[in-house]
Amino acid sequence: MGKATLLVLDGFGVGAMADCHETKPEDIHASTYAHLQETVGLKLPTLMKMGLGRIVNNEGEAIAAYGKSKLAHHGADTFMGHQELMGSKPGKPAKRLMKEVGQQIADGLTANGYHVEELIEGKPILLVDGAVVVGDNLESALGNIINMTADLTQISFEAATKMAAVVRKHVDTSRVIVFGNESVPLTDIVAAAEEGKPGQWGINAPKTGVYGEGYQVLHLGYGVTFEKQFAYLAEQAGKPVYRIGKTADVIQAQGFANPVVHTPELLSIYKKMYNEAEEDAVFLVNVQETDLAGHKEDPSWYKEVLETVDHFLAQFLPTLAEHDLLIVTADHGNDPTCGHSQHTREHTPILAYGKQVQPVCLGVRDTMADIAATLSDFTGVQTPEFGTSFLPELMGK
């Protein structure tokens, strides 16, 4: 085998999924690529040469295998999308606030030997072992996430993650996020406790300053077991795994991780690491600025980022070694023209390129986990819990 890369263009959807009528009616007309092309004249000659035109309107050439995927996770979410891309079959989460689940969280923690008290009397926000505050996430959609903000001067991050695993067992929200920074003590955390929407109590994380240098975070998804995911299985098999961009935050692994956001810098780091890496290295790369542009409803910025990536690929593809594999995809849509600033539930493109890869049609895949299964097949490691490999099609077998 050669090197393997998964390049995720965050939020780059190629048309609304049919189930939007029932699940996300606000997205029924979403089509990120098509609308960028129509509104700002997006031009992606390299991706088109690879086969993007075949995906979106069955036209043009294809030097790569091409297809698209449905989202098997519910909604349209970066974290859950990446868990699916790594081979998980996420469960269907519920929206919960601490005022509903705080008592069961407290009971579960107490049963596991933790000391639990109210941070603010009469409010649904908890203090555990005098070091970790459990509350609603005030930054995400209402009820999606339970946050655990840890004072890492009083508790190690490893101990905080074990506590988070207990909380994860007692709630069915999309995510439990545990995080902290040794430079942010409990006094700063408590000072940032506030009510968001009525009845929503948590820590205003940006106000604490936790996101600066030294920030540590772990996301625990509902129905997600990271030990059954491609990244973990690859590392267990001795493959070096490099996470560059948003993947450093949302994919759990032990190897190189750099959560760089600025696209030119990200691509430069990727190219440098790629050229220096072992022949069996795995790269998991996420271009986040596309998603940020979608949230800002800024088609021009979105275009600029995509065209930067396209130009990079024009120069990078010819440098791939004989047995290398590059898969370009997305994790959901984020149409900046659809009338709202949230993710859109769209199909994601699949473009698989390599000198050994046949430019075949991969059709419409039922889950993005097929990519994880394919990467596992390519690297010769154990198959993740979900997904069907399309490596035989890539290799013409």
The predicted-structure confidence for 225-275, as pLDDT tens digits, reads as follows 999 999 999 999 999 999 999 999 999 999 999 999 999 999 999 999 999
Query: Residue 186 CB: number of other CB atoms within 10 A?
Result: 19
CA dihedral 340, 341, 343, 345 (to 10 degrees): 10
pLDDT of residue 343: 96
Q: Are strands 126-128 and 132-136 parallel, antiparallel or unpaired?
A: antiparallel
Asked if 36 and 115 sit in the same domain, the reply is no
What pLDDT, in 10s, does the model give residues 41-94?
999 999 999 999 999 999 999 999 999 999 999 999 999 999 999 999 988 899
Helix (H) or strand (E) run with residue 79 in it: helix 78-85
Number of domains in the chain: 2
Three-class secondary structure of residue 19 per DSSP: coil
pLDDT of residue 141: 81
Owner of token pair 């929503």: 200
pLDDT of residue 196: 95
Asked if 260 and 376 sit in the same domain, the reply is yes
Asked if 136 and 228 sit in the same domain, the reply is no
pLDDT of residue 38: 97
How far is CA 41 from its chain centroid? Answer: 28
pLDDT band at 212 (very low <50, low <70, confident <90, very high): confident
Which one of 190, 221, 252 terminates a domain? 221
How many whole angstroms separate alpha carbon 391 and alpha carbon 389? 6
pLDDT of residue 163: 99
Asked if 340 and 362 sit in the same domain, the reply is yes
pLDDT of residue 179: 97
How many whole angstroms separate alpha carbon 206 and alpha carbon 387? 37
State the average pLDDT for the chain. Answer: 97
pLDDT band at 208 (very low <50, low <70, confident <90, very high): very high
Asked if 269 and 354 sit in the same domain, the reply is yes
CATH of the domain at 45: 3.40.720.10
Lowest mean pLDDT among 8-12, 190-194, 211-215: 211-215
Domain range for 197 is: 98-221
pLDDT of residue 223: 87
What pLDDT, in 10s, does the model give residues 347-373?
999 999 999 999 999 999 999 999 999
Asked if 52 and 79 sit in the same domain, the reply is yes
Asked if 249 and 384 sit in the same domain, the reply is yes
Asked if 174 and 193 sit in the same domain, the reply is yes
Asked if 277 and 378 sit in the same domain, the reply is yes
pLDDT (average), residues 99-106: 98
- How far CA 167 is from CA of 127, 132, 159, 160, in Å, comes to 13, 12, 13, 11
Asked if 254 and 373 sit in the same domain, the reply is yes
pLDDT of residue 129: 98
Exposure of 63 by Cβ count < 10 A (0-12 exposed, 13-18 middle, 19+ buried)? middle
Contact 367, 89 (CB under 8 A): yes
Asked if 22 and 163 sit in the same domain, the reply is no
pLDDT of residue 49: 98
Asked if 205 and 150 sit in the same domain, the reply is yes
Which one of 221, 236, 269 terminates a domain? 221
pLDDT of residue 338: 95
Which one of 221, 237, 263 terminates a domain? 221
